[in-house]
Amino acid sequence: MTYALEIEGGLGADTQQVARTVGEVLRDPRGWQAQDKVRFVQVTPQQRSEGTHVDVTISLVSPSRVDQMCAPLQTGGLWSCANKDHAVLNYRRWAEATPTYGGKVDPYRVYQINHEVGHELGHPHAECPGAGRPAPVMLQQSMGLGGCVPNAFPTVTRG
Protein backbone atom coordinates (compact mmCIF):
# COMPACT_ATOMS: atom_id res chain seq x y z
CA MET A 1 0.00 0.00 0.00
CA THR A 2 1.56 3.26 -1.07
CA TYR A 3 1.28 6.36 1.07
CA ALA A 4 2.32 9.96 0.89
CA LEU A 5 2.83 12.32 3.79
CA GLU A 6 1.69 15.93 3.70
CA ILE A 7 2.34 18.39 6.52
CA GLU A 8 0.63 21.76 6.48
CA GLY A 9 3.09 24.61 6.52
CA GLY A 10 3.23 26.95 9.50
CA LEU A 11 2.36 24.38 12.16
CA GLY A 12 5.80 24.34 13.70
CA ALA A 13 5.97 20.56 13.34
CA ASP A 14 9.36 18.94 12.94
CA THR A 15 8.70 17.45 9.50
CA GLN A 16 11.55 14.93 9.71
CA GLN A 17 10.31 13.69 13.09
CA VAL A 18 6.73 13.44 11.81
CA ALA A 19 7.90 11.43 8.79
CA ARG A 20 9.99 9.17 11.02
CA THR A 21 7.07 8.59 13.40
CA VAL A 22 4.60 7.81 10.60
CA GLY A 23 7.04 5.39 8.96
CA GLU A 24 7.85 3.63 12.24
CA VAL A 25 4.17 3.25 13.12
CA LEU A 26 3.26 1.85 9.72
CA ARG A 27 6.16 -0.65 9.85
CA ASP A 28 5.64 -1.68 13.48
CA PRO A 29 5.10 -5.46 13.83
CA ARG A 30 2.04 -4.80 16.02
CA GLY A 31 0.44 -2.73 13.25
CA TRP A 32 -1.67 -3.16 10.16
CA GLN A 33 1.06 -5.00 8.24
CA ALA A 34 0.59 -8.00 10.53
CA GLN A 35 -3.18 -7.58 10.88
CA ASP A 36 -4.08 -7.05 7.23
CA LYS A 37 -1.01 -8.51 5.50
CA VAL A 38 -0.20 -5.20 3.80
CA ARG A 39 3.15 -3.55 3.29
CA PHE A 40 3.44 0.23 3.40
CA VAL A 41 5.70 2.01 0.94
CA GLN A 42 6.19 5.76 1.14
CA VAL A 43 5.93 7.75 -2.08
CA THR A 44 8.10 10.85 -2.11
CA PRO A 45 6.91 14.22 -3.40
CA GLN A 46 9.16 13.78 -6.43
CA GLN A 47 7.70 10.34 -7.18
CA ARG A 48 4.19 11.80 -6.88
CA SER A 49 5.03 14.60 -9.28
CA GLU A 50 6.26 11.94 -11.71
CA GLY A 51 2.89 10.16 -11.51
CA THR A 52 3.45 7.42 -8.92
CA HIS A 53 0.08 6.22 -7.57
CA VAL A 54 -0.69 6.85 -3.89
CA ASP A 55 -3.26 4.68 -2.08
CA VAL A 56 -3.55 6.95 0.96
CA THR A 57 -2.28 10.39 1.83
CA ILE A 58 -1.56 10.97 5.49
CA SER A 59 -2.05 14.67 6.20
CA LEU A 60 -1.05 16.45 9.42
CA VAL A 61 -3.02 19.68 9.39
CA SER A 62 -4.43 22.46 11.58
CA PRO A 63 -7.84 22.04 13.20
CA SER A 64 -9.48 24.41 10.71
CA ARG A 65 -7.97 22.48 7.78
CA VAL A 66 -9.20 19.21 9.34
CA ASP A 67 -12.72 20.65 9.30
CA GLN A 68 -12.37 21.39 5.58
CA MET A 69 -10.77 18.08 4.63
CA CYS A 70 -13.16 15.97 6.68
CA ALA A 71 -16.39 17.59 5.49
CA PRO A 72 -19.18 16.61 5.54
CA LEU A 73 -18.05 14.99 8.81
CA GLN A 74 -18.22 17.58 11.57
CA THR A 75 -14.92 17.49 13.48
CA GLY A 76 -15.40 20.78 15.31
CA GLY A 77 -11.66 21.35 15.11
CA LEU A 78 -11.22 18.59 17.68
CA TRP A 79 -10.90 15.28 15.90
CA SER A 80 -9.09 13.55 13.06
CA CYS A 81 -10.77 11.60 10.26
CA ALA A 82 -10.36 9.42 7.21
CA ASN A 83 -11.98 10.81 4.09
CA LYS A 84 -11.51 10.12 0.38
CA ASP A 85 -8.16 8.32 0.54
CA HIS A 86 -6.85 10.74 3.17
CA ALA A 87 -5.97 9.94 6.77
CA VAL A 88 -6.34 13.45 8.18
CA LEU A 89 -4.52 13.99 11.48
CA ASN A 90 -5.46 16.93 13.65
CA TYR A 91 -2.29 18.80 14.66
CA ARG A 92 -3.87 19.95 17.93
CA ARG A 93 -4.26 16.29 18.93
CA TRP A 94 -0.77 15.49 17.59
CA ALA A 95 0.69 18.18 19.86
CA GLU A 96 -1.49 17.71 22.94
CA ALA A 97 -3.08 14.21 22.75
CA THR A 98 -6.41 13.82 24.56
CA PRO A 99 -7.47 13.32 28.18
CA THR A 100 -8.01 9.61 27.45
CA TYR A 101 -4.26 9.33 26.86
CA GLY A 102 -3.44 11.53 29.85
CA GLY A 103 -1.70 14.01 27.57
CA LYS A 104 0.90 11.40 26.54
CA VAL A 105 1.56 12.50 22.97
CA ASP A 106 3.83 9.68 21.76
CA PRO A 107 1.38 6.81 22.30
CA TYR A 108 -1.49 9.00 21.16
CA ARG A 109 0.27 9.73 17.87
CA VAL A 110 0.65 6.00 17.27
CA TYR A 111 -3.08 5.53 17.94
CA GLN A 112 -3.98 8.53 15.75
CA ILE A 113 -2.06 7.14 12.78
CA ASN A 114 -3.24 3.55 13.21
CA HIS A 115 -6.88 4.53 13.71
CA GLU A 116 -7.18 6.75 10.65
CA VAL A 117 -5.12 4.45 8.41
CA GLY A 118 -7.32 1.61 9.69
CA HIS A 119 -10.33 3.40 8.24
CA GLU A 120 -8.52 3.72 4.92
CA LEU A 121 -7.98 -0.03 5.03
CA GLY A 122 -11.74 -0.49 5.44
CA HIS A 123 -12.05 -1.00 9.20
CA PRO A 124 -15.13 0.47 10.92
CA HIS A 125 -15.35 1.77 14.46
CA ALA A 126 -15.32 -0.82 17.25
CA GLU A 127 -16.60 -1.02 20.80
CA CYS A 128 -14.80 -1.77 24.05
CA PRO A 129 -14.83 -5.56 24.59
CA GLY A 130 -14.92 -5.22 28.38
CA ALA A 131 -13.74 -3.17 31.31
CA GLY A 132 -9.99 -3.19 31.81
CA ARG A 133 -9.26 -4.75 28.43
CA PRO A 134 -7.12 -3.06 25.76
CA ALA A 135 -9.24 -0.83 23.57
CA PRO A 136 -9.48 -1.92 19.94
CA VAL A 137 -7.52 0.57 17.86
CA MET A 138 -10.73 1.24 15.94
CA LEU A 139 -12.53 2.37 19.11
CA GLN A 140 -12.90 6.14 19.07
CA GLN A 141 -10.41 6.38 21.93
CA SER A 142 -10.10 10.15 21.58
CA MET A 143 -13.71 10.51 22.70
CA GLY A 144 -13.71 7.91 25.46
CA LEU A 145 -12.59 4.42 26.36
CA GLY A 146 -15.86 2.82 27.50
CA GLY A 147 -14.05 1.05 30.34
CA CYS A 148 -11.12 -0.13 28.22
CA VAL A 149 -7.52 0.96 28.62
CA PRO A 150 -5.76 2.90 25.84
CA ASN A 151 -4.19 0.82 23.08
CA ALA A 152 -2.51 2.21 20.01
CA PHE A 153 -2.02 -0.95 17.93
CA PRO A 154 -4.39 -3.18 15.96
CA THR A 155 -2.81 -6.51 16.94
CA VAL A 156 -2.37 -6.02 20.70
CA THR A 157 -4.39 -8.48 22.75
CA ARG A 158 -4.84 -8.88 26.47
CA GLY A 159 -1.59 -10.09 27.94
The 3-class secondary structure across the chain, one letter per residue, is CEEEEEECCCCCCCHHHHHHHHHHHHHCCCCHHHHHCCCCEECCHHHHHCCCCCCEEEEEECHHHHHHHHCCCCCCCCCCEECCCEEEEEHHHHHHCCHHHCCCHHHHHHHHHHHHHHHHCCCCCCCCCCCCCECCCCCCCCCCCCCCECCCCCCCCCC
Q: Is residue 41 situated within a structural domain?
A: yes
Domain count, the chain: 1
Q: Is residue 75 situated within a structural domain?
A: yes
Q: Which domain holds residue 10?
A: 2-96
Residue 67 CB partners (closer than 8 Å, separation 6+): 74, 75, 76, 77
Q: Is residue 145 situated within a structural domain?
A: no
Q: Is residue 16 situated within a structural domain?
A: yes
Q: Is residue 40 situated within a structural domain?
A: yes
Q: Is residue 143 situated within a structural domain?
A: no
- Give the pLDDT score at 156: 73
* Rounded mean pLDDT for each run of 10 residues along the chain, 159 residues in total: 97 96 96 94 96 97 97 94 97 96 96 98 96 96 96 77
Does the global pTM surpass 0.85? yes
Q: Is residue 110 situated within a structural domain?
A: no
